[in-house]
């Protein structure tokens, strides 16, 4: 997330939540006149809820975009590893290249194995090796 986006989110949320709290206190104060309550309602909506909602929406979009980029980077590294290793990959290899911990790397490979009909084998050492077929045979031809 860019610095200016973080600053905008912080300002909008900070401003919006502060005004929302102040306006709510003013609305709930029984000593206020009806006109003051109406002004508090306007302030609540225009200067409290609107900026807070906008800040929350920007934060949500930025977070979602960052997650999509991480997913795309992980997938690109996964495919590169497959190509470099002729379709063979281990959780350790994926973890080393992507920075995922071992359990997450294994879970990711399990998910991809289901999606791409991969097979896996357990070596004598107990290491799981996944094999993804990179070329499909059609009609007996390679």
| The pLDDT of residue 136 | 66
- Residue 112 shares a structural domain with residue 139: yes
Write the burial class of residue 54 (CB in 10 Å: 0-12 exposed, 13-18 middle, 19+ buried).
middle
In this structure, what CATH number is given to the domain that contains residue 123? 1.10.10.10
pLDDT at position 1 is: 82
| 14 and 61 part of one domain | yes
Return the pLDDT at 116: 94
Q: Please check whether residues 89 and 138 belong to one and the same domain.
A: yes
Identify the pLDDT of residue 137: 57
What is the model's pLDDT at position 48?
97
Q: Does residue 39 share a domain with residue 2?
A: yes
- pTM, two decimal places: 0.71
In terms of domains, do 10 and 60 share one? yes
Model pLDDT, residue 71 = 96
pLDDT at 139: 54
Statement to judge: residues 139 and 93 lie in one domain: yes
Q: Which residues in the chain come in under a pLDDT of 50?
A: 141-142
**Total domain count, the chain:** 2
By the 10 Å C-beta count (0-12 exposed, 13-18 middle, 19+ buried), 121 is classed as exposed
pLDDT at 135 (0 to 100):
82
């Amino acid at each position: 997330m860019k610095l200016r986006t973080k600053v905008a989110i912080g300002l909008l949320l900070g401003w919006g939540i502060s005004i929302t709290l102040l306006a709510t206190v003013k609305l709930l104060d029984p000593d206020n006149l009806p006109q003051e309550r109406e002004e508090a309602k306007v302030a609540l909506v225009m200067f409290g809820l609107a900026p807070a909602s906008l800040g929350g929406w920007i934060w949500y979009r930025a977070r979602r975009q960052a997650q999509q980029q991480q997913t795309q980077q992980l997938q690109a590294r996964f495919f590169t590893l497959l190509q470099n290793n002729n379709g063979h990959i281990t959780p350790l290899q994926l973890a080393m290249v992507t920075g995922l911990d071992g359990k997450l790397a294994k879970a990711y490979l399990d998910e991809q194995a289901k999606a791409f009909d991969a097979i896996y084998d357990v070596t004598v050492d107990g290491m799981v090796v996944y094999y993804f077929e990179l070329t499909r045979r059609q009609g007996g031809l390679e």
